[in-house]
Amino acid sequence: MYYIYIPRHGFYLQHFAKQMFKLPTELAKHLEQEIHTKLTKAVEDQAKAYNKMWTEREAKGEKFHTTFELNYRGRMVEKPRVWREEANAGYIFIKFATRDNNQPDYLRPMTCTVDYEGCKRNAKIQAKHSIGLFESRINGHLAVTDKIEVISLRLGDQNLIHGFVAGDTKDAEKFSIHTQMIWNYRYGANSANGYLTQYVQFRSDRRGAKQEGKTVLQRLNEQEKQAKADAKKAIVDQKNLVKWEKFQKLPVVMEKWVDKEIKTLAAIISDEGLADIQKQADRMGYKFDREWKIKSISKDIELHNTLRNDLRHWQNDETGLKALFDKGVDTRNKLKEMYGV
């Protein structure tokens, strides 16, 4: 087993040793709380600034703000500011004045409040993302044969996690991974997406015994890749199973069809059938090659007989039919094409 030391609380948490690093639950919770606190503060500050600005506008008797934009001639022109985008993004609820048709006047926001539930949801998402990045950075320095003995990490007051993870290699050599992660928010128009962006930066290095072999992160990526491949294969296998269940019924269905085809072909080269063909040839003025016709139709009958014999065999023993299916002969038309019928 190993121990996790959390300096802020001054105690160790006991865990069983694992090769894969996971951020301690205590730190994960504090990280989420830190993100939530700072996000909420940023949104509250924005709401406060908006409310102050809009109140001052109303006190002046104005009904909209103006902004400067480049026109098609490349000149800066003053235009009324539209607040529609702010109403549909971010974590504030805006109350607008209404027009005569009871539709919101996006030129005239009156007051806004904070979407606290939205902040809470986003904090969970951002914390999960940050934790995943932090864990992947540590696991990128851990070999699959390394054993973690100590996790000593501190959640600082300036959007910072720092400390080290230490342990032994398979040869009992000591190593430590020193790391720090810092994140910050940009909220509002200056953020990358227009309302909220969290930036995360890492610094980390391994000291002591060198990392040998595959890293835990590489192993995790391989496992994830294999899991996706297995899931994809399972879908294909399921489709093939459904296809096979349909295909394995062909021996019974196709035997009836083959019997009918053989009878039709036999009728063509019967005395009556050949006589009819001869009459047609005489009527249309072409020479009828009786022997060639008999030979050609007889060959077709032979091919159909071969298929019928195999169909009858597969009704009691599907081995041969399954072998063809696995090779790609998996439809009625492909089976007919294979036998030349």
User: Residue 147: pLDDT band by 50, 70, 90 thresholds?
Assistant: very high
Torsion of CA 60, 62, 67, 68, to 10 degrees: -90
Strand segments, DSSP code E, in 99-250 are: 104-114, 147-155, 160-168, 174-187, 196-208
* pLDDT tens for each residue of 266-317: 999 999 999 999 999 999 988 989 999 999 999 999 999 999 999 999 999 8
Query: Is it the case that residue 194 has pLDDT exceeding 60?
Result: no
* pLDDT tens for each residue of 157-166: 677 788 999 9
Query: Is it the case that residue 191 has pLDDT exceeding 80?
Result: no
Cβ–Cβ under 8 Å, residues 70 and 76: yes
- pLDDT at site 14: 38
Query: Is it the case that residue 9 has pLDDT exceeding 60?
Result: no
Cβ–Cβ under 8 Å, residues 2 and 17: yes
User: Residue 188: pLDDT band by 50, 70, 90 thresholds?
Assistant: low
User: Residue 57: pLDDT band by 50, 70, 90 thresholds?
Assistant: very high
Cβ–Cβ under 8 Å, residues 47 and 112: yes
User: Residue 64: pLDDT band by 50, 70, 90 thresholds?
Assistant: very high
**Pairwise CA distance, residues 12 & 3, whole Å:** 6
Q: Residue 6: which H helix or E strand, with range?
A: strand 2-6
